[in-house]
Structure 1
Amino acid sequence: MKYLILAATMLLSSCSLLPKPQLNISGAAIDSVSPLMQNLQQQGKPRTAIPVSVYAFRDQTGQYKPQANVSSFSTAVTQGATSMLTQILLDSGWFAPLEREGLQNLLTERKIHGSNKKAAELPPLKEARLLFEGGIIGYETNLTTGGIGAEYFGIGASELYREDQVTVYLRVIDVYTGQVLLSVSSSKKVFSQELRAGLFRYVSLNRLLEAEGGYSTNEPVQYCVKQAIEAALVELVEQGQQRGFWRADDQASLNNGGVS
């Protein structure tokens, strides 16, 4: 009996030694610029940011979150990818996104402003030079699964992991000609991990000793989507420079169907 109690104590203490996330009880914080975007900013940018528009960057997977024995209508990926792409374009320093997702709201406000006879006349809206299109085109679950575990005399421990994948497509279109200048796809793995240890043992005929501990970590899908969009945008900027559509430290202007 005392050996089993000792084993249970050691089991629980071993679980406490496992690395585990700290409880986040702090206030809300502003998301920082990722290292990938910081590196892009440090490589140089045009003298004047290129005006671009994004009407929609939607979830095109049509998938819902997988839940066992439960009917779920929660989508597998974020529905706010348009806002993500707009923020990433701003952070890049290369592009100046114009409001297009909420264009109707903007036009309504301008109409209200124009109905005021005493108000000054508003200037025309600025036109975009480039149009960004695309979307989240894939979310594969259980791409890779596995684990390892062992159990002896009612004492056991195991580790499980799962790997999903999200894929996005992003393309740049010349507004003047309608030509697709560049198109890039990128993927990001989404990792999940679970660690657990347990004890299950009858210490006597009617007495059962049971103990269990562990934790799991899951990568947020929305952050993985954001990283995939960032990777696609960085690749577009690099390809655009290589093909002469735009260049750093110079004012962007139209030239041969592109921006140089």
Structure 2
Amino acid sequence: MNRIYSQIAGALTLALVTGGCVVSGTNIDPITQPATLVPDTKTGVVLDRLPPPAQKLDVAVYSFPDLTGQNKPNDNFAEFSRAVTQGGSAILSDVLTKAGNGAWFNVIERNDLQPLLQERQIIQNTRTAVEGKRAQGLPALRFAGILLQGGLIGYDTNETTGGIGANYLGIGGNTQYRQDVVTVALRAVSVQTGRVVASVTTTKTIYSVLVQGSAFKFAKVDHILQMEAGFTKNSPATLAVREGIQLAVYSLIFEGVKAKLWDFADAPAGAAFMRALDEQKKAVNFEMVTETPSTAALAPPPAPTKSAM
């Protein structure tokens, strides 16, 4: 037993020394990771590969708010942090600028317009102070023909929960999982008429998995050695929101093509993408129908009949 205590003491000493070196800056912390770009999603890759349009669209995003009103789920105490990101407009603007490798949208700045107007005023005042009446004015601001509106309209927690575990002779483990669903709504509004010309709603599932294992053994008659290990993996909620917005933009483009609001520059290439989207929708609808109980199963059983005497 003394040997075990000495090993534990040695491990603690090593951890303290290593931590001291990390804090002092003599070594690089092996746990930290460098900053990276946002990883690509499957939907984002497909959106970036869209064929170019016949004409680039001028769109404006004023806001894309969090309309869920949901806080982070916590079983122990009240959580005041929001369950989803508050930067939906920034994500939407970024997705729009990258759609079709940047060929689909001219995104007009409207989310934070005041600094832009103030900077233009400073430039104009400076030119007037230096050049007087001969000062050349700034070109007019570009205006948008379509407003993109909507937001994050739903965050359903614990849509599916479950787990499994087993223990035999003091050795065992268990796994638990949870699914949350975030819902995104996006619509295109004509500036000239105020009519909603296209509207889509998408969902994205967020997974959380917990894996634990434990074991114990009698080191002596009155001494128990117990060991536990585990990890938790949570899908990034912000990345899930991004993919939901990407799918919303992707679907909105195709809704506009169907309504003949805009079109692809290469009609055959655009038709191929349209067929692929229709096949995906049919597959999803077929899966939902097969998982839905039939009406016969939901119908009440027939009333018993009296036997003939």
TM over 0.5: yes
CA drift at 1:111: 1.4
CA drift at 1:194: 1.1
Counterpart pick for 2:222 among 179, 203, 206: 206
Structure with more strand by fraction: 1
Q: Tell me how far apart the structure 1 counterparts of residues 44 and 228 of structure 2 sit (CA, whole Å).
A: 42
Deviates further, 64-73 or 174-183: 64-73
Structure with more helix by fraction: 2
Q: Tell me how far apart the structure 1 counterparts of residues 192 and 251 of structure 2 sit (CA, whole Å).
A: 23
SS for the counterpart of 1:145 is: strand
Name the structure 2 match of 1:228: 244
SS for the counterpart of 1:111 is: helix
- For residues 114-133 of structure 1, the aligned pairs below 5 Å read 114-116=124-126, 117=128, 118=130, 120-133=136-149
Counterpart pick for 2:121 among 111, 129, 133: 111
CA contact (8 A) 2:47 2:246 kept: no
Deviates further, 50-59 or 68-77: 68-77
Deviates further, 193-202 or 34-43: 34-43
CA contact (8 A) 2:202 2:247 kept: yes
Name the structure 1 match of 2:78: 71
Name the structure 1 match of 2:37: 30
Q: Tell me how far apart the structure 1 counterparts of residues 243 and 230 of structure 2 sit (CA, whole Å).
A: 29
Q: How many residue pairs get matched?
A: 228
CA contact (8 A) 1:153 1:201 kept: no
CA drift at 1:24: 6.7
Counterpart pick for 2:97 among 86, 90, 97: 90
* 1:247 maps onto 2:254 in alignment: no
CA contact (8 A) 2:71 2:83 kept: yes
CA contact (8 A) 2:59 2:146 kept: yes
Unaligned stretches of 5+ residues in structure 1: 1-22, 251-260
Report % sequence identity: 38
Name the structure 2 match of 1:52: 59
Instruction: Give the residue type in structure 2 aligned to 1:174.
Output: S
Name the structure 1 match of 2:176: 160
* 1:40 maps onto 2:47 in alignment: yes
CA drift at 1:181: 0.4
Name the structure 2 match of 1:182: 198
Rg: which structure is higher? 2
Name the structure 2 match of 1:217: 233
CA drift at 1:32: 4.8
- Give the alignment's TM-score, normalised by structure 2: 0.70
CA drift at 1:120: 3.3
